[in-house]
Structure formats: C-alpha cells, structure tokens
Structure 1
Amino acid sequence: MSTDTAKAAPDATRIHNIGYRSYDGPRLGRSSARTSLFSQSLRGAYGLGRSAKSKVLPMLLFAIMCVPALVIVAVAVVTKQTALSIEYTQYALLLQVVISIYLAAQAPQSVSRDLRFRTVPLYFSRPIERVDYVLAKFAAMASALFVLTAAPLLILWIGSLLAKMDFVEQTRMFGQGLVSVVLLSLLLGGIGLVMAALTPRRGFGVAAVIAVLTISYGAVMTLMGIAHATDHQDAIVWLGLFSPMTLIDGVQTAFLGASADFPGGEGPGAGVGVVYLLVVLALIAGCYGVLMRRYRKVGL
C-alpha cells in the first residue's frame, strides 16, 4: 500500500467509555471479610437468603426442637408444678436425633458446595486467608447448632418463671444447660464440618455425618448395656469416651449436676470427668486442625 493511500484511509481507532469507575470507599480488610463469611454461613444454615425450599428443613427441625419444650411449659403452668418434668441438661440428649439430622443436612451445605464448584481458591485470593475461612465456617456451624439447642432451653426457663418456680434455682440450672449445649455445639459442629469437608459430594457428606453420630452412639450404648448386664460397671464410664453424645453426657454429669443417661444411672465422677472434658476439648481442637490441613490442599 502506498504512503498516499495510507494517509487517505480513515482512522478506525475508537475509545469506548463502558462505565468502569475506581472504588473510592473504605478498604475493610480481613476482619470484615471474615465477619461477612460467618454471617452468610450462619444465615445459610437456616435457609435465610436462599430459596424457600432451602428454608423448609432447618425451620421444620427448629420447630420440632421447640415443640416439646412448649408442651412441657404448658403442662407445668396449667398444673402449677414446682419443678419442670425434664432437666435442662437432658433436653438436647433426648432430641439428639433431630440435632443429628440438622447437622447432617447443614454441614455439607456449608462447605461441600464450595469444594464441588471449586470456589475455595476465590475466597483465598484476597484478602481472606485459610485461617479466616475455617474460623468463620466453624463458628457459624457451632452458632447454628447453639441456636437450635439453646432456644428450647430458653423456652423452658421462661416457662418456669411463668409457673412461679424458684428463680435462682431455675436460672442456675438454665446456665448449666447453656454450658452443656455450648460444648455440644462446638463438638458436633467440628465433627460435622470435618466429615462434610472430606468430599465435595453433598450426599456423601450427609451419609458420613449420620454414620459417625448414629453408629458411634449405638455401638457405645450397646457395649455399655453388655457391660452393665455382665456386672462390669467400671467399664461403662470408659466406654463413654468413644461417642460424642456420651462424652457430653459424661461431662455434664461430672461437672454440671446432671443425671447420667448411662446404663445403671451412674456417670463418671470428677476424676474421670476431667478425662471426658479433656477428650472433648482435644476433639474440638483436632477438628479445627484437620480442617486447616484440609484447606491447605484445596485452597491452592
């Protein structure tokens, strides 16, 4: 092409303004990102901010947890009882099936989808880090379980005051119940997230959580029953170390004045109770460590 022809050709260069603007707001950093992830995960555990279908199961299970407490309170008020027909520390253990179903449904929802759709590296790109992700998910799952288990206790406490029971005594037992469900929420939340984080398939995560909780409890209670029937009472308290539910039962029996749900009705004393408490704390810390190790790999 000649020089004259090149000069005569029209200039095809165009500059388009597509509306991008620089961000002038505050840079909130890791703390805000961690808080947002915690809030989003906690809301998601009850289907908030998701489809109506996602709200059905968690809300139904929450209602099932609260209905027995409402019935107990109604009976206590109408019949003017001087004490509730159930201990605060025993309520969650009696409804452990509901808690297990809730955990099996919501723990995979919290972490399995991020693994399946490979969105975890996006979280870790900036500014959030691996420890922030694990802490936010762990805290959200434990908080969701605490809401599930503490709400019925609050109903029982309010009902006891309406029935004009002793305020100091009921408040003391209510506090013991809250301590129990805090430990239960941390322990089950950690176990549920570990099981769910092992696979990106939600169905496998649900099955793993159910299997760990139900099989361990069933096996331990069966062995306890055999030990009780064969008059090996000393073995019963040590068998309780091998199931999450019996661990919590042992801790609250030793330190919170609860009645043991073990065969024979005798739980661990203060000495063995220390072992129970140490095992519970070690499992919670171990679950956190496993999650940190797991997300060291998938976060790359």
Structure 2
Amino acid sequence: MPPETTVPALARTAPADVIHNIGYRHYDGPRLGRAYARRSLFAQSLRGAFGLGRSAKSKVLPMLLFGVMCLPAGIIVAVAVATHAKSLPVEYTRYAILLQAVIGLFVAAQAPQSVSRDLRFKSIPLYFSRPIERGDYVVAKFAAMASALFILTAAPVIVLYVGALLAELDFADQTKGFAQGLVATALLSLLFAGVGLVVAALTPRRGFGVAAVIAVLTLSYGAVSTVQAIAFEQDSSGAIGWLGLFSPITLIDGVQSKFLGATSAFPGGYEPSSAAGAVYLLVTIGLIAGSYGLLMRRYRKVGL
C-alpha cells in the first residue's frame, strides 16, 4: 500500500465525536427577579458612595467629608452642654446651608463615581440585559445618591438634637426644629442628588463630571450670592428673592425660610413672599422631577 494511503491504528479505532460531562446542571433555585436586582443595585451604590466595598483609598474622601460635616455639630453640642446654653447657636435648618460647600464636594466626588464608570466601561448593557430595566437602574441610582446625601446631612442634625436634649433645652421646641431640619435635609438631598446625577451622566469621564458638578452646585451659589449682595447694596430687595431661583442651595434656602420657619441666609435676611415661596417650592419639585426625567431619557439612549 502506498505511504499516502496508510492510516495509523489509533486513528482507525478512535471515535469520531466525544461528549464530555463536565458537571453543569440546570439552575432550579428561586428566581429573585427585578425587585431583588433593584435592591442589590441600590445597596451597592449606597455603599459605594461612602467607599464601602472598595479600596482603602476610595474611603478616604467620603469619610473625611462625613467627619467634616459632623465635627462642627459636635463642637456646638459640647459648648452648649458646658455653658448651659438656653438655645443652640445654629438652627437645625441652617446647618446644611452653612456647610453647603462640603455637600457640593461630596456630590461632585460621588455622583460621577456612581454613573460615569458604568458609561465609560460600557457595563450598562450588562445591567439592561435582564432582569433589570432602565427605570430600575435610574430609580436605584437616584435613591442611593439621595440616601447617601441624607445620611451625610442628617447625621449632624441628629448630633445637634441629641446635644440639645443633653443640655436640657426645651423638648417641644427642639423636637419641632429637629423635624423641620430633617425635612429640609431630605429636600436638599433629593435636589442635589438629581442635579448631580444628571450632570455626571452626561460624560463618561469622571474628571469632567467632577468639574461640571462643582460648577453647577458650588459656583452657581457663589454667582447668585454675589449678584444678590449687589442687589441688596443697590436697594433692589425685590430682585433678591427671584435671583435665588438660579442656584440649588438658594432654592432650598428660600423654601425652608418660607415653609419651615428657618432664618433666611439671603442678604438682609430677605424672606420670600407667599407667591415667591410657592414659586420656590414648585421650581424645587420641578427640578427633582425633571432630573429624574432627564436621567430616564439619558439611559434610553444607552442601548445594547
């Protein structure tokens, strides 16, 4: 037989196809569904806002900002208890306004981390494959950022309230102020979370997102405050209130000074009229709802 026609003995006896059983089995456990996926994404995003579950370096800035938020409240409480003060030197509703720069920095650092990384590394289609949908993603991210901000802003308010009770201040007055402070911080958290996420979701670059959020939240406050001060010096008090509509923090200031009994931080202690107060509230609610709508529209465009 010619060499080219010879067939090795092993090849003649080996089977043509072999099926290997490597142990894969069909999953027959519980199907947890969209609600579980939404809760898991919320919990993961909330933990990530404070650096939990991430590297040690990622924990430094959020924990530092949390400490900066609570430290002045602790000092105020210590002084009030030691001096037997008759009232706290800072209102519950004013505390977040005074430390709005810290809050803005927290949003600028964590909003891009929450959404920009998913856009940059193109992991959004993995979320949207199943069972989670676009609405679930937006709700989870929005709720997580708002919850993180509420923890950041409500913690020092709780410290102030506990200190007021330790200083034996009037229970009814302090409880009322504490409740007003929690409402104000909840409203601020929703507004800042919505605005921060919308701005951060516009770019997959985290650095650009950080700069844009700072510009919208912090620089807008500086610009509005400067123009308000100029209007006050020129005796144009009517313009002070309407100028406050152009910055998130002055919006919150206007709402709480009108509806929550807070002292206004506007120049000259200007308090919005009933009509202006209603406009402030409507604009605030509109911005929160509009931020959610813009996020939904943004993630409709991020397809598979």
How far has the Cα of 1:6 moved from its partner? Answer: 11
Taking only the aligned residue pairs, the percentage that are identical comes to 69
Q: Does 1:153 align with 2:157?
A: yes
Matching residue of 2:254: 250
Matching residue of 2:217: 213
Alignment of 1:56-71 (within 5 A): 56-71=60-75
- Aligned pair count reads 299
Matching residue of 2:77: 73
Aligned counterparts of 2:143 and 2:11: Cα–Cα separation in 1:
68
How far has the Cα of 1:20 moved from its partner? Answer: 1.8
Q: Does 1:265 align with 2:269?
A: yes
User: Larger Cα Rg: Structure 1 or Structure 2?
Assistant: 2
**Alignment partner of 1:151: what SS?**
helix
Counterpart pick for 1:108 among 96, 109, 112? 112
Matching residue of 2:287: 283
Matching residue of 2:194: 190
Letter aligned with residue 55 of structure 1? K
Q: Does 1:224 align with 2:228?
A: yes
**Alignment partner of 2:129: what SS?**
coil
Aligned counterparts of 1:152 and 1:21: Cα–Cα separation in 2:
52
RMSD: 1.6
TM-score (norm 1): 0.97
TM-score (norm 2): 0.95
How far has the Cα of 1:168 moved from its partner? Answer: 1.0
Matching residue of 1:17: 21
**Alignment partner of 1:124: what SS?**
helix
Q: Does 1:123 align with 2:122?
A: no
Distance 1:71 1:27, change over 3 A: same
**Alignment partner of 1:264: what SS?**
helix
Letter aligned with residue 63 of structure 1? G
Gaps of 5+ in 1: none
Deviations 1:52-76 (A, max 9, x none): 1111110010001000000000000
Q: Is the 8 A contact 1:112 1:199 kept in 2?
A: yes
Deviates more, 1:9-18 or 1:149-158: 9-18
**Alignment partner of 2:151: what SS?**
helix
Aligned counterparts of 2:40 and 2:218: Cα–Cα separation in 1:
33
Matching residue of 2:171: 167
Aligned counterparts of 2:156 and 2:131: Cα–Cα separation in 1:
38
Gaps of 5+ in 2: none
